[in-house]
Structure formats: C-alpha cells, structure tokens
Structure 1
Amino acid sequence: MSDQPLPDLPPFPPGFRFGVSTAAYQIEGAVAEDGRGPSIWDTFAHTPGRIRDGHTGDIACDHYHRWESDLDLIARLGAGAYRFSIAWPRIQPTGSGPANQAGLDFYDRLVDGLAARGIDQVVTLFHWDLPQALQDEGGWANRDTAMRFGEYAELVGERLGDRVKLWITLNEPYIHFALGHVQGIHAPGLTMLTDQLPVVHHLLLGHGLAVSALRRTSSAPVTLANNHSPVWPASDSEEDRTAAIIYDMVQNHLFADPVLLGEYPPGYELLTTADVDSIIMEGDLEVISQPIQALGVNYYNPSRIAAPPEGDPLPFVRLPIDGYPMTAFDWPVVPDGLRELLVGLKDRYGDKLPPIWITESGCSWPDLDDRFRIDYIAGDLRAVHSAIQAGVAVHGYCTWSLMDNFEWAEGFHQRFGLVHVDFDTQARTPRRSFEWYRQICTTAAPRPDLQGDPTG
C-alpha cells in the first residue's frame, strides 16, 4: 500500500448524510424468483452482442439472498443512508395490476433491516428496469406507461411509506433516454433520432404522478435524480458554442426545468417532428412541477462539446477531455466540475432549487489498494464542501457504489465498489477505500438526528 497519508476533509454541517448507492438489476440477481417478471434489461442482456462478453444480471451480486450480510457491511461502514432501488417487475411482473406480495415482502424486510441498523432508507422507484410487458406496448413512448408508473408508486408507498426517509422517483432519466432510446447502447436498445419528446415527457409525467401517489401514502420527502454535467464548448467558435448550448439543454435542463420551473427549456421542440400539443396535454406540466423537497444530482465528469461533422444526425458531438487523471472507465477526474455544477444549479434556479443530495458519485478502479478511488471521493467531497460554503444547500452524499456490480453494457468489467466482489464465489472483500470512507462517515459530520428529515 502507498505510504502517503490518506486525505482528510473539512467538517461538514451537522446532520449531513454520508451514504452509499446501489440499483436493483445491478446487484439483486434472482431474476425469476418469487414472481418477478422480466424487465427490459433481462431482455437486453440476453440479446447476443448487447453486453460485453455476454454477461447478464441473472445472478449479479446475489443480493436477493445475501441482503442481510450486505446490510451488515453498510452498518460496518457507518453510513447514515443507503440508496437502493426497487425492481418494478418484482412488484408488478407485467407492469400493472395488483402487487406481487412476495416482491413487496422482500423490500419490506430490507427497509426494516436498515431501520434496525440505524441507516436511513433512500428508495429509488425506477432505475431503468421497466417491465418488459410495458415495453411491448411502447414503453415510455406510450403515455399509458406514465399512468402505470403512478399506480406502481402507490403500491410501494402504501407498503413502505411509513418508514422510507427519502423517495427518488426516477434515476437518471437523461441517461435512460439518451443511451436507451437514442443511441441504443442501453435497454431497450432503441434508436429514435426523429421523435424523442414522447419518451422525455412521459418519464416526467410518470415522475409527477408518482409524486402525487407518494404524497398520499407517505410523509417522506420526494425527489428525482438526474445525471448532470458541466458543459464546456470545445472552442470559442459560434458553431461549438451553439452545440454546447443544445447539449446543455438536453442533459442539464430538459429534465429539471419542467420539474422546478413548470416549463420546458428553449429548444426542446428539436426532439419531435410532431405537434407538441399532441404530446404535452393540458395540465401535464402542473402535475410534473409539483414541489419536490430535494433534488438528486449524479455527477461523474464534465462534457466537452463541439459542432458535429456534416451528416451527423445529432446536433453536437462529445470530445475527450485531456489533461486530467482517468478512471478505469477512461472518464476524466475533474472534482471541481462538481462545484461548478452545483453553483450553476443555484444560479439558474435560485429560490426554486430545493436542497440537493449527491445521489451518485464514484469511479471505476479495480485494485483492492484503491488509493485512486479514495482521492476521487475526497476530491468530490471537497467540491461539495466548497459549494456549501458558496451558499448551495447540499444535505447528503451517496457514493457509487457499495460494491462491484453489473455495470450495464460493460457487464462485470468495470468495478465501482468500495467492496470488491468475486463474481464466481460472491465473496465480498472491503477495499482500502471502504476503511477510509468509514472514517469519513463516522467523523466528518455530527449526526444528532439520524432518523430526522433527510432534507432538513
């Protein structure tokens, strides 16, 4: 191991939560047990050529059977919050109809297990695993899917709403839209380059309907978590600056402006060739813009954007960012980008910006002696602290991820975990970063009211 001293951090405000994140399809396995139906990721992963080396989430980390020992790991870490997702097809195998009680029972045990260990439950309703039956009817391009999502949220809220501390309706709708419905490299593997607005709008409408359902069934605050990125034009040319403005609109404002401002950002009409009024119905934006009590921000790196080459179907192109350390995923490590992003959100939304949770931030690095990951997380936490000092209300940070898992199209090749997982034996081995983060979780912020309002 390196002899260099490990980084320390300035003190965070009292009550600030340090936590970890996971997602259902990435860790649970047990894809055909206890009534769970197939999701679009089951279908996608079993389609030849879609996932690197043919990996699937059929077993993943076997968390469905090992959840108690995994919760013990979180308790050992000293984390104040655990962000996890519920698999929609465990609750409604076909995406509609009555709840599958065995599925609800699993999450009931999980929520109670966290409470027993003094860990706040941060629950995501949709982390990309849409029931395949709904995709067969058009998926998020079909307005009916938003209605079904609201019904699903009510079923979950009725069962778990008395204990969950913070709800997240959607995880990274931008990524699900862009990689799953434009580029086709995530499930459901579609390339829709001419009419994308229905998917965007119905995701947002589903969020709004879920907010309504959770308000009826739970007193916990509700938010959504999107992947945000500072956008840097590749040059000062008018063409590159215009491309950067369009990209910024799509990634950073398309899913935030309707929620926080009640309107779509300028330029959103580029996403459809149809009449906008045939997609955005009267009253929809009022449903979408119901007040939320927190905003989830996932951050990994900035985006360097240039004008596209002639004939490219997209109005922008992403370019590499040079001059920074690179993760094992070849993503640049730019911690100050997180401070820039948070301050930028405050500048744009002002008093309409609710308290922020960093719901994902982390890096892929394979080694057990992962000083690289320690420095990465420390850099991002310093950036969060700087944003707090600049007046941005940030109330929690959940690093990605608790353990190595199924990393979508990369299969098991990218390792984001504080805990190493041997996918042949399912043995868990805490990395050096686990022990360092344990010190941060237990010393960097007093937690006099662990079970209080996570946004307060």
Structure 2
Amino acid sequence: MTPDIHDPQLTKQLFGDDFAWGVSTAALQTEGSCDADGKGPSIWDAFSAKKGKILNNDKPIVACEFYEHYERDIDLIKELNIPNFRFSISWSRILPNGEGKVNKAGIDHYNKVIDYCLKQGIEPWVTVYHWDLPQALEDRGGWTNRAVVDWFTAFTTICAQNFGDRVKNWMVMNEPAVFTGAGYFLGMHAPGRRGLRNFLPAVHHTVLSIVAGAKVLRKLLPDAIIGTTFSCSYIEPFSDKPKDINAAKRADALINRLFIEPIIGLGYPTNEVVALKGISKYYRPGDEEKLSFDFDFIGLQNYTREIVKYSFFTPYIGASLVKAEDRNVEELTTMRWEVYPPAIYHILKKFNAYPQIKKILITENGAAFPDEVINGEVNDPKRIAYLQTHLQQVLKAKQEGCKVSGYFVWTLTDNFEWAEGYHPRFGLIYIDFKTQQRIVKGSGQWYANFLR
C-alpha cells in the first residue's frame, strides 16, 4: 500500500540537519506484563481494576506486550527510519514498593531495551515519570504527600546511575497538568482523587519533584541533555466579550502556564486564578529556590485547541470549554478533539516568547481515528493529513524564528489510552489486541518515506 497523500513541498530537509525526528511511547500504555518479574502495582493497575473507571472496563494488563517483545517493536522503529525513540521507565518495575529494594529484573529490562535501541542505531530518549506512580506510594498520600519529592529523587537517582552511561537525552516528567488535574482534582484518571485539597499539594510537590529530579540528572550526568514535557492547548475565547476573554485567560493560566512558569522562575499564575493562592499553604522555607531549573529543552505536547467561555457555575475558574461537536467543527478525532493544525503554531509562538526557554521540542503530536483492517492493510489518510498539516505549522513557526528543534509522533503502536482504554487508536502501527499482530498503517509508511 502506498499512502495516497503526498505533499512534495514538505520535506525533512526544510527543518535542518540537526532537527530531531522521533516517536513517543509510555511504559504503562505499552508494556503489559503488569506483575511479571517482581513488578509492583501502579496506580493505573489499581484504578483500572475498579469497575467503570476505564472505557469498556479495559485494563493495561497485556497492553502491547512491549515488555516481552520489545525487540519486535524496536525493529519496526528501525524499518520506519525513525532515529529517536522516546519511552518511559515504569517506577514500580524498578521499585515495586516505590522506594527501598531495587528490582534487578526491572533494571535488566530497561538495560536490554536501551542496548537494543543502540544496536539498531536508534537513540533512546528516556522519560523518568509518565503517570504510573507505584500504588504503595499512593497509599501513603501519593503526590499530596511532600515525601514524594524524596521518593522521586531516589527513583531518578537509580535511573541515572543505571542508564545514564548510554542515555544522553532525558525528560523528567510527562504532562504534569494532566496527571494532577485529571488524577487529583477531577478524579477521571488514576488515582481518582478530587478537589482542591488534593490538587494544590499535588501541584506544588510535582513542581518540586521535577526540579529535584532535574538537579539529580545534572549532578550525576553533567553531559546529559535534560528536559521535561508539558501538555498545551491553544486557548481562544468564545466571543469578544470581556467575560469570555477573561475566562480564556484563566483557562490558559491553568492549562498552559501552571507548571512552566514556576519552573522558569516566574512563580505560579495566581493573579489569574485566585484559587491557586492556596498553594502557599504547602510552601516551606526555601521552596522559592527549589521551584526553578535551567532546562536544556522543553517538550511541548499539543493535539488541538480549546474554545472557552465564561461560566458562572464552574467553581474556582469561572470558565468552561465549548465542546468541539457543539461548534459545528468540520473534523473530529476519535477523542472528539477538533482537527485544528494552527494550534501547534500558536503554542510554539507562545512558549517561544519565554526568554528563559532555550530550546523546544514537540514531544507528542498525533491523532486517533477509527482505523480498519481491509485486505490486511490499514489505510489512514486522515492521520497522514493530520501529521502533514501539523508539520507545516511547525515548519512555519521554525521559519519565523521559533527555537523548535524536534518532532515526535504520538505514538508508535495503538495502545492503552488511559481512561479511554483501547478504543482510541493513535498508532503509526495497528495492533490487533487479540493476537498482538502488528500492521504498519499508511501513516507509518508515510512517516518512513518522509524520514528516508
């Protein structure tokens, strides 16, 4: 099958020789083998075991069997000409109880993954934490317990000591706004906690942990390239009414600014969202100096835009999202997200405006569409168009001087997509979850040709 969409104007060369091209994954979403070889349970193992928490009551027990068959998938990465592979380390595979005794089998597994990447000429990019807190630590308060800073520092130290001789590129954490917001405020993600009393301490302890983890990596691996990643949505007001404009500013502060601004030394955006002033309750003497770090790069993860309007009934923020399906949007993904390529351009311009940010990488961008196997093939022209149009916007930002220097597709294979289970398919590679058969989609072939 030859992908039937091709833009001859869009070539890899336009982005420059030092632009990093890759693909991203996460341990919990792909590995399976949830209790193999001494691994302890994570908050997602516990959360998904509760009825009704995950769409179709799906569980990450098997996922994509990456733990067992990592060589197969790394071989596919090589076949697709993808030079950089971003994956995460399962905390409870390394430390089944979250701290204390190290599980040698877990260390051995990631050593094998890293070594096999290097053998195949693929550069490993490691995310230390991608949402899978050990359940043993959640039982002790998780991200609401300030001790998590020490727990995370110890975990990061073990990762640096065991993998740092071969891994040059590190990301401390993945999308803190999502795992704190959905997991500790809305209760939609693991561990399922709700309310400000959980959210505010989780936010502060997460920022402290990101900086503490980065400092460990800098100290132990002085030559490493260290970043961390943030989810971002381009926010627009529903109308030009002052109420909607101000609501959009509050939403932007919560969605896009809450984590990046303290980390680059600007503090929390409490002027826009007054409820965030409650974070001060969790401060201790000396915290001001522990909140910021000079990262080598910042990873941005963007999929769509959000339209925001004033809402009297929404507590704390006085704003609500106007759903894409209520806006007569032309095209929606499986996630009910609007396909709006300029969003990634606007996000790049927004973050590029921070002088403290040295370098930006798009560490996730992609789309879920309803893929079908027909005659043994998966033709997905909508995903190809999505990737092309978003890359055009990245190129536009770069040509206008944005310091963007990499692009990673989400994701390699269809996987366990958190609360949405196995329903949304984001992969460049189709997975039959009954047989674990892999089929490279048209989009995977397009990306391979683009990178050739």
Distance 1:189 1:103 in 2: 27
Q: Does 1:441 align with 2:441?
A: no
Q: CA deviation at 1:17?
A: 1.5
For residues 5 and 305 of structure 1, do their structure 2 counterparts lie closer, same or farther at Cα, with a shift above 3 Å needed? Answer: closer
Measure, in 2, the Cα distance between the counterparts of 1:212 and 1:4. Answer: 47
Q: CA deviation at 1:427?
A: 0.5
SS at match of 1:224: strand
**CA–CA distance in structure 1, aligned partners of residues 217 and 390 of structure 2:** 31
Q: 1:165 is matched with which residue?
A: 168
Q: Is the 8 A contact 1:254 1:268 kept in 2?
A: no
- Whole-angstrom CA distance in 2 between matches of 1:317 and 1:239: 12
Distance 1:147 1:381, change over 3 A: same
Task: Report the Cα distance in structure 1 between the residues aligned to 2:122 and 2:212, rounded to whole angstroms.
Answer: 28
8 A contact 1:125–1:169 mirrored in 2: yes
Distance 1:4 1:69 in 2: 27
CA drift at 1:217: 2.2
What CA distance in whole angstroms lies between the structure 2 residues aligned with 1:100 and 1:283? 34
Asked if residue 401 in structure 1 is aligned to residue 404 in structure 2, the reply is: no
Q: Distance in 1 between matches of 2:153 and 2:314?
A: 40
Match of 1:178 in 2: 181
Task: State the shift of 1:309 in Å.
Answer: 4.0
Cα distance 1:111–1:268, how it changes in 2: closer, same or farther (>3 A)? farther
Q: What is aligned with 1:361?
A: 365
**Structure 2 residue identity aligned to 1:252:** N
1:294 equivalenced with 2:297 (yes/no): yes
Matched, 1:104 2:107: yes
Pair 1:27 & 2:30 matched? yes
TM-score (norm 1): 0.93
Q: 2:2·2:445 contact (CA, 8 Å) conserved in 1?
A: no
Query: For residue 213 of structure 1, what is the amino acid of its counterpart?
Result: V
Among residues 244, 251, 256, which one is paired with 1:247 in the alignment? 251
**8 Å contact 1:88–1:130 — kept in the other structure?**
yes
Tell me, in whole angstroms, the C-alpha distance in 2 between the residues paired with 1:36 and 1:272. 36
2:350 aligns with one of 335, 338, 344: 344
Q: Does 1:121 align with 2:163?
A: no
Q: CA deviation at 1:273?
A: 7.3
Residue in 1 aligned with 2:375?
none
Q: Which is bigger in relative contact order (C-alpha 8 A, separation at least 6)?
A: 1
Give the Cα separation in 2 of the matches to 1:268 and 1:169. Answer: 27
Unaligned runs of 5+ in 1: 443-456
CA deviation after TM superposition for structure 1 residue 67, in Å: 0.2
- Other-structure match for 1:146: 149
Q: Do residues 52 (structure 1) and 52 (structure 2) align?
A: no
Q: Distance in 2 between matches of 1:235 and 1:410?
A: 31
Q: Deviations over 1:276-320 (max 9, x none)?
A: 444122332323312110000000011111111436565211112
Check the 8 A contact 2:22/2:86 in 1, yes or no: yes
SS of the residue 1:420 aligns to: strand
- For residues 99 and 3 of structure 2, the distance between their equivalents in structure 1, rounded to whole angstroms, comes to 56
| 2:424 counterpart (389, 414, 427) | 414
1:27–1:61 Cα contact (<8 Å) kept:
yes
* 4+ aligned runs moved over 4 Å, structure 1: 1-5, 311-314
Structure 2 vs 1, CA of residues 340 and 213 (structure 1 numbering), >3 Å: closer, same or farther? same
Length-normalised TM-score, structure 2: 0.93
RMSD over aligned Cα, in angstroms? 1.7
Q: Secondary structure at the match of 2:348?
A: helix
Q: Report which stretch shifted further, 412-421 or 303-312.
A: 303-312
Please say if residues 197 and 271 of structure 1, whose CA atoms lie closer than 8 Å, have aligned partners that are also in contact: no
Amino acid in the other structure paired with 1:399: V
1:13 aligned partner, one-letter code: G
Structure 2: gaps spanning 5 or more residues: 372-377
* Count of residue pairs the alignment pairs up: 439
Q: Contact (CA 8 Å) 1:363, 1:376: kept in 2 or not? A: yes
1:237 and 2:241 equivalent? yes
Q: Matches of 2:304 and 2:97 in 1, distance apart?
A: 36
- The answer to whether the Cα contact below 8 Å between 2:295 and 2:357 also exists between their aligned partners in 1 is no
